[in-house]
């Protein structure tokens, strides 16, 4: 979490610096540019909050880890490995506990728990997809601030949502395989108990 907050702080500082220089060069008031920067971050924050609230009120059944929408393809996995997902995946903050289900680690190997874990994984992915699209909200800013504020802020929002999105997509096949294995084991044990009781 600290690493992510540090990156966010650096990105905000860079955007503010760009706007300080841009405001002077373009003849704008620095304070006016600062105000629009604050508004841009507020718009993006609201878009991200909207994504979380929307995904929490949607029916749980849509977060089916076996559906095509949530399937991770082999070419995707290769891409995530190429961009170094293994090196930075553990640096991505896990905020699932704010919604009542932490996904930082698997607490037990019960199949029901693992399926819920997978559903939360899918929910998090959808939140980040919607949040990436929320980057487009930045273009409600006046046109003269698109280059100095809009594009850098939208890129920052895309990046900060793409990293956890990619992490969810990369890890899901492993979690899904673990769930399927555990489900087979539990189904086999239940079948044996049923046979013994007959």
> Mind listing the pLDDT tens digit for each residue in 152-192?
888 888 988 999 999 999 999 999 999 999 999 888 888 87
The closest alpha carbon to 98, from 132, 61, 125, 124, belongs to 124
Output the pLDDT for position 23: 64
The closest alpha carbon to 110, from 55, 183, 191, 13, belongs to 183
Output the pLDDT for position 140: 79
Output the pLDDT for position 128: 93
Query: What size, in residues, is the chain?
Result: 198
Global confidence as pTM: 0.83
pLDDT < 50: residue spans in the chain: none
Instruction: Report whether 151 contacts 133 (CB < 8 A).
Output: no
Output the pLDDT for position 96: 63
Output the pLDDT for position 135: 85
Output the pLDDT for position 195: 72
Cβ neighbourhood burial of 6 (10 Å; 0-12, 13-18, 19+): exposed
For residue 158, CA distances in Å to 3, 55, 69, 82, 105 come to 17, 18, 20, 19, 25
Q: 30-57 vs 151-197: helix axis angle to the nearest 10? A: 20
DSSP summary character for residue 70:
G
Instruction: Report whether 167 contacts 85 (CB < 8 A).
Output: yes
Output the pLDDT for position 53: 92
CA–CA separation, 173 and 122 (whole Å) = 12
Output the pLDDT for position 20: 67
Output the pLDDT for position 108: 78
């Amino acid at each position: 979490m600290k690493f992510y907050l540090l990156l966010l702080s650096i990105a905000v500082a860079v955007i503010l610096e760009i706007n300080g220089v841009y405001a002077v060069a373009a003849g704008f008031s620095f304070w006016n540019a600062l105000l629009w920067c604050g508004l841009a971050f507020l718009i993006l924050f609201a878009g991200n909050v909207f994504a979380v609230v929307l995904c929490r009120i949607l029916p749980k059944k849509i977060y089916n880890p076996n559906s095509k929408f949530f399937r991770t393809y082999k070419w995707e996995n290769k891409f995530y490995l190429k961009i170094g997902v293994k090196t930075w995946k553990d640096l991505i903050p896990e905020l699932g506990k704010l919604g009542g289900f932490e996904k930082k680690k698997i607490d037990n190997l019960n199949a029901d728990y693992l399926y819920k874990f997978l559903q939360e994984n899918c929910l998090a992915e959808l939140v980040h997809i919607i949040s990436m699209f929320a980057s487009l909200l930045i273009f409600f800013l006046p046109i003269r601030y698109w280059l100095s504020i809009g594009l850098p802020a939208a890129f920052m929002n895309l990046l900060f949502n793409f990293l956890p999105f990619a992490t969810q997509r990369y890890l899901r096949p492993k979690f899904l395989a673990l769930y399927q294995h555990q489900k087979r084991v539990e189904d086999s044990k239940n079948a044996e108990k049923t046979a013994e009781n007959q």
